């Protein structure tokens, strides 16, 4: 087993990384953006240089063909048979998939049966899978699910206080997301601490954001729920709200359920509170310029993170480590500073100088802090590639 391709199909994008798994080196990476447009963009890294092209890419078949052909065109590989496996990110595995699986017709059907749980994601993930299987029929494909890492949660963690029949009949429960990221970061922290049963709180903070409590290799609890809408305030998502708000605003604003759902997913969060942007960098610029609503959006964001970290610290009977990852977690010195400063009551102490880094693995707590705090850049693609290796060698 040598070369493995990790892919992530979004609603109008296709991200990819090609690994040499003998040493987990990235051979190339890139993205196809604005699929369906006459001005789509294809970016691929060749010998540390990014090559960008703007062209018409009308559908996923063309996007996948462009990616595959570029690998040999740029001599990243000389023969497509060098690729021994393709790993696909799939957002929702429900209770059907407890771990990653080699894709066959039954798996494709089962993923499709879960479309109701992730209507914006699973159908697109499936589209990517089918295109790769069609164009490269001799290469095995593996599905890696965002939700599977959280299947170790116990019933008291994943069930809601709703009629139990909702769970039995409709699968209403907490599933959790960002699983590949939480798995990678928790694995890396255990390695740093040299402690297999470490108790870790991971803050995956980006446009989508979640906090996860991990004990050893098991997810104990996480903030996202039945969908990625729950938990923290995010870029455009509301996070936790009182469910009674939905019928109330439907009546007051004469909005449909679909309109309310769109508001909660696409017009809330940092964007909704600030009225300015869903981008944390814009929020911080607004704060520096004296924008009160940007300050308010940031305060709500920080408060939610601190609240969940505190809760999970108790749940874990004292965490060994807190890790920040993803776009905001890795790059915002301000967010990390504000979060950890509010946790001083737990004996957590931030090293202000060490925290002045972006995108690098770093210990950012003092030597006398009760909990070690880290920046850990995430690598979801390598987790996908590792699962491909495990399953293909195993089979």
- By annotation, the residues acting in catalysis are 146
Tokens of 357: 């880094």
Query: How far from 15 is each of 8, 29, 63, 170, 294, CA to CA, in Å?
Result: 5, 8, 10, 32, 31
Residue 372 phi, psi (nearest 5)? -75, 135
CA gap 84, 80 in Å, rounded: 9
Token output for 71: 């690998």
CA–CA dist 336, 326 (Å, integer): 12
- Residue 159 exposed, middle or buried by CB count within 10 Å (0-12, 13-18, 19+): middle
> Closest Cα to residue 270, out of 246, 242, 245, 305?
305
Burial (0-12, 13-18, 19+ Cβ within 10 Å), 22: exposed
* Cα–Cα–Cα angle for 113, 218, 141, rounded to 5 degrees: 40
């Amino acid at each position: 087993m040598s070369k493995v391709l990790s892919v992530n199909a979004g609603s109008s994008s296709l991200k990819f990384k090609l690994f040499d798994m003998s040493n987990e080196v990235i051979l190339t990476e890139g993205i196809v953006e604005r699929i369906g447009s006459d001005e789509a963009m294809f970016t691929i890294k060749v010998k540390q240089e990014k090559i960008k092209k703007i062209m018409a890419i009308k559908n996923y078949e063309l996007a996948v063909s462009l990616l595959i052909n570029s690998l040999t065109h740029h001599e990243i590989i000389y023969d497509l048979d060098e690729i021994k496996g393709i790993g696909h990110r799939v957002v929702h595995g429900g209770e059907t998939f407890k771990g990653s699986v080699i894709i066959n017709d039954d798996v494709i059907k089962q993923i499709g049966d879960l479309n109701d749980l992730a209507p914006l994601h699973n159908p697109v993930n499936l589209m990517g899978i089918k295109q790769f299987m069609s164009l490269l029929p001799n290469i095995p494909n593996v599905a890696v699910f965002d939700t599977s890492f959280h299947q170790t949660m116990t019933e008291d963690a994943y069930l809601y206080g709703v009629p139990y029949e909702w769970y039995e009949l409709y699968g209403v429960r907490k599933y959790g997301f960002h699983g590949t990221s939480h798995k990678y970061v928790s694995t890396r922290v255990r390695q740093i601490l040299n402690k297999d049963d470490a108790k870790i709180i991971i803050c995956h903070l980006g446009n989508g954001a979640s906090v996860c409590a991990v004990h050893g290799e098991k997810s104990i609890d996480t903030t996202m729920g039945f969908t990625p809408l729950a938990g923290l305030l995010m870029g455009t998502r509301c996070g936790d709200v009182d469910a009674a708000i939905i019928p109330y605003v439907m009546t007051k604003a004469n909005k449909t359920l679909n309109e309310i759902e769109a508001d909660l997913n696409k017009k809330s969060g940092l964007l909704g509170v600030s009225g300015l942007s869903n981008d944390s960098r814009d929020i911080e610029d607004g704060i520096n310029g004296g924008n009160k609503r940007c300050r308010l959006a940031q305060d709500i964001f920080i408060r939610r993170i601190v609240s969940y970290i505190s809760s999970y610290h108790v749940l874990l009977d004292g965490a060994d480590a807190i890790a920040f990852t993803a776009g905001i977690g890795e790059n915002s010195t301000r967010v990390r500073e504000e979060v950890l400063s509010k946790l001083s009551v737990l004996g957590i102490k931030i090293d202000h100088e060490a925290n002045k880094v972006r995108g690098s693995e770093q210990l950012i707590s003092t030597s006398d802090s009760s909990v070690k705090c880290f920046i850990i850049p995430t690598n979801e693609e390598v987790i996908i590639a590792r699962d491909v290796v495990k399953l293909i060698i195993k089979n």
